Structure 1
Amino acid sequence: MGQHKTVWDNPADIIRHLAPEHPVMVFAPTVLQDRARQFLEGFPGLVTYAVKSNPEEAVIQNLVAAGVRGFDVASPFEIDLIGRLAPNAARHYHNPVRSKSEIAHAVKAGIRAWSVDSRSELEKLFAQVPTEVDGKGVEISPRFKLPVLGAAYDFGSKFGATPELAAELLAEVAQRGYIASLTFHPGTQCTDPIAWESYIRVAKDICDMAGVKAQRLNVGGGFPSHRVVGVEPDLATIFQEIADTATEMFGEDGPALVCEPGRGLCADAYALITRVKGVRDGAHVFLNDGVYGGLAELPIIGNIDRIEVLDPQGNPRGGERAGRVLFGPTCDSVDRLPGEMALPEDIAEGDFVIFHGAGAYSTVTNTRFNGFGAMTQATVMSLS
């Protein structure tokens, strides 16, 4: 009964009918499309989805159905994926460091938007990338960095030029006849709108130093998902801060704005169903998934505490909550979630722990280490 469904009512429905022994990543297309429309209606510019956060074809297809017309691609695979699934969409190749063969692949694919954060990489682009493709100008955006503010993870430790170097790169891009633009990334799970304000103000300084009017300003990703109970992301305030600061700094004739959300778009459209393998001496809870699977990023940016615990019949556990250490299924001691999680005291082997908001950087990080991680996927009407 029910096992031949292609779309389930919710995660509890899956648990009641299938009692899955392996992790299940549950996808709610309606949630994804609602979040996409929130960005499309609220952000004052072009919305491009960062494919790396979740490249599942169903995600791309639902974003296109919701009206998303741009994608941030970081590899030849992602370039080709979007070329196949959304052939009319804009593709922004904003991974700042690429091999010569990767550049050649992108040129052949007709990519017209690039980012760069160093002189050496800019010279590689000048050597291979034309200033026009099919009669349309090609954009190169120097990427700059600042000390991180309000983010869970600092992208500036790997990418980004200083403002001074970004100004030099911007001037060179303009002199060579490319469309000169700027880009930045405020950091992962950035909840503070002031981070975008600070970057936009420095973007104006960079344009002034270079003597160049940037055609577009890509304000990056970093838009937060809903990870903590009672603390929902305030996207509207972030959007408004971006719009207000851009107008203040550049005037009404400022650069066109672009954003590239990944987590902020896809994370809350998924929930991860895990099962309890054992409760060791009433203290430690072992799950059938962990940091080598769908929960890989939790030790880096912190736990998702939007969790439900259901018994094998799909009913919520109602015991008082207490802090427990959670381990994954492998024999590696690193396979542990950070800190403790508040779980019902009556949690037992065979129960299910559902992590809500698990759709970003999870479906693509499953290593199958130790033979675990046989994750399946399911579609639901609702996540509650």
Structure 2
Amino acid sequence: MRSQPALWPSPIRHMVKMQPDAPVLYFAPEVLQASARRFVRGFGGLVTYAVKANADPAVLDNLVGAGIGAFDVASPAEMAQARAAHPRALLNYHNPVRSRAEIAAAMAHGIASWSVDCPRELEKLSEVPREGTRIAVRLRLPVAGAAYDFGEKFGADPAQAVVLLRRAAAMGFAPAMTFHPGTQCADPEAWAVYVRAAAEVARRAGVRLCQFNVGGGFAAHRAGEAPDLEAIFSRIATEVRAAFGPDAPALVCEPGRAMVAEAFTLALRVKAVRAGGALFLNDGIYGALMELRDIGLPARIEARRPDGGAVPGAPVPRVIFGPTCDSLDRLPDPMPLPDGIAEGDYVLIRAMGAYAASLSTRFNGYGAQEIVTVTAP
């Protein structure tokens, strides 16, 4: 991604003036900082930003400016990115699988918390200094309510989590727990189930948790009413008090998508309209639309003429192809767009700050997005 320093009042003003022919991500720093302050104000514990969602330096710098001083990092590269934004930031390395070389690099960065979900990964941390270091056992449960389930790849079942907690404490680490309810989760009950199960695991292990990371998964506003994050924060606090009592551990969360999504609007241009109504856009599943294959189309979409006016006509479901020469470069579901849409028009998709850039490839020479700073997305 390339950053453009000029500040524009809105995406439409920029489009009308500059007529961009390549994809643009319109970035509203004030919206990002407001999202960060919402988490810091509403969540009853430490807020760590999941760098994987969007690691652009402007994003990280604005989060630091809004009071975020801790980051969830999944690789040495993300550690370096977080350190560049905040040299003294607290870093949690909660990717449960690491090579020996990655462990050594993480030790050099002074990682505060590591997660594990199996005995082998815990043993690989035997050389990590104990003082001030937490080992968070990652729990998994068959909980519904998310766009897709992280438990298929990561996490220990409750019985194994008991064993891992005991072993981590015996090795001299400060014992902790973590989980992830699944991406784009808006149901407070998902967190409640995990909180109760984690408290039971800790009791069975005979271990007092020093910290409890309730994960990411907080939903961004993709359709309908905006997710009620405060309801989730409140439910987490209530369940933790009830499940752990006076020995409740310190809370941590690691939002990514819900922190950064709303601050960006993606603008794509129509390259061609086929006789059957299918559209070719200047980006697709090898670029900013990659994640839409897995979590479906958002509803916050509008079409604009090059002069900024709304494209007329009733919504028509349209097959969407990307710009590459690969026939797989196609969205799995039709996108409703006005029947008057034409070549050269723009399609604006709201809340695209998470993963649109970080998942993009450069296949066939496509997939790069310019970042333009705006007052409002």
TM-score, normalized by the shorter chain, greater than 0.5: yes
Query: What do residues 317-369 of structure 1 show as CA deviations (whole Å, max 9, x unaligned)?
Result: 13111211111111222211221221111011000001111111111222121
- Please state if 1:91 is matched with 2:91: yes
SS in 1 for 2:237: helix
Write the letter of the residue equivalent to 1:204. A
Give 1:253 deviation, angstroms.
Answer: 3.0
Aligned length: 374
SS in 1 for 2:313: coil
SS in 2 for 1:330: coil
Residue number in structure 1 paired with 2:17: 17
Alignment of 1:173-192 (within 5 A): 173-192=168-187
Residue number in structure 1 paired with 2:193: 198
Give 1:227 deviation, angstroms.
Answer: 0.7
C-alpha contact 1:71 1:89 (8 A) present in aligned 2: yes
- Please state if 1:327 is matched with 2:326: no
Within the candidate set 357, 368, 382, 2:376 is matched to 382
Within the candidate set 144, 150, 161, 2:145 is matched to 150
Residue number in structure 2 paired with 1:345: 339
Query: What do residues 248-272 of structure 1 show as CA deviations (whole Å, max 9, x unaligned)?
Result: 1011430111000000100111011
- Please state if 1:274 is matched with 2:268: yes
| Structure 2: stretches of 5+ with no match in the other structure | none
Residue number in structure 1 paired with 2:166: 171
Residue number in structure 2 paired with 1:359: 353
C-alpha contact 1:148 1:156 (8 A) present in aligned 2: no
TM, length-normalised to structure 2: 0.97
SS in 2 for 1:251: helix
Alignment of 1:230-309 (within 5 A): 230-309=224-303
Cα 1:5–1:367 shift into 2, 3 Å: closer
SS in 1 for 2:125: helix
Query: What do residues 220-261 of structure 1 show as CA deviations (whole Å, max 9, x unaligned)?
Result: 000000111x22111011111111111110114301110000
C-alpha contact 1:24 1:375 (8 A) present in aligned 2: yes
SS in 1 for 2:163: helix
Residue number in structure 2 paired with 1:31: 31
Partners of 1:325 and 1:244 in 2: CA distance:
45
Give 1:316 deviation, angstroms.
Answer: 1.3
Give 1:5 deviation, angstroms.
Answer: 7.1
SS in 2 for 1:125: coil
Partners of 2:5 and 2:254 in 1: CA distance:
34
C-alpha contact 2:208 2:247 (8 A) present in aligned 1: no
- Please state if 1:224 is matched with 2:219: yes
Query: What do residues 81-100 of structure 1 show as CA deviations (whole Å, max 9, x unaligned)?
Result: 21221122210011100000
SS in 2 for 1:278: strand
- Please state if 1:313 is matched with 2:307: yes
SS in 2 for 1:84: helix
Partners of 1:264 and 1:374 in 2: CA distance:
23
Alignment of 1:26-65 (within 5 A): 26-65=26-65
C-alpha contact 1:47 1:258 (8 A) present in aligned 2: yes
SS in 1 for 2:202: helix
Partners of 1:297 and 1:25 in 2: CA distance:
15
Partners of 1:223 and 1:71 in 2: CA distance:
16
SS in 2 for 1:60: helix
| Structure 1: stretches of 5+ with no match in the other structure | none
SS in 1 for 2:247: coil
User: Which of structure 1's runs of 4+ aligned residues deviate more than 4 A?
Assistant: none
Write the letter of the residue equivalent to 1:347. I
Query: What do residues 199-235 of structure 1 show as CA deviations (whole Å, max 9, x unaligned)?
Result: 001001110110001111100000000111x221110
Give 1:282 deviation, angstroms.
Answer: 4.7
TM, length-normalised to structure 1: 0.95
C-alpha contact 2:5 2:373 (8 A) present in aligned 1: no
SS in 1 for 2:303: strand
C-alpha contact 1:27 1:269 (8 A) present in aligned 2: yes
Give 1:79 deviation, angstroms.
Answer: 1.0
Give 1:373 deviation, angstroms.
Answer: 2.2
C-alpha contact 1:22 1:373 (8 A) present in aligned 2: no
Residue number in structure 1 paired with 2:102: 102
SS in 2 for 1:379: strand
Residue number in structure 2 paired with 1:215: 210
Worse-superposed segment, 75-84 or 32-41: 75-84
Partners of 1:107 and 1:367 in 2: CA distance:
30
Partners of 1:52 and 1:252 in 2: CA distance:
34
Partners of 2:335 and 2:368 in 1: CA distance:
24
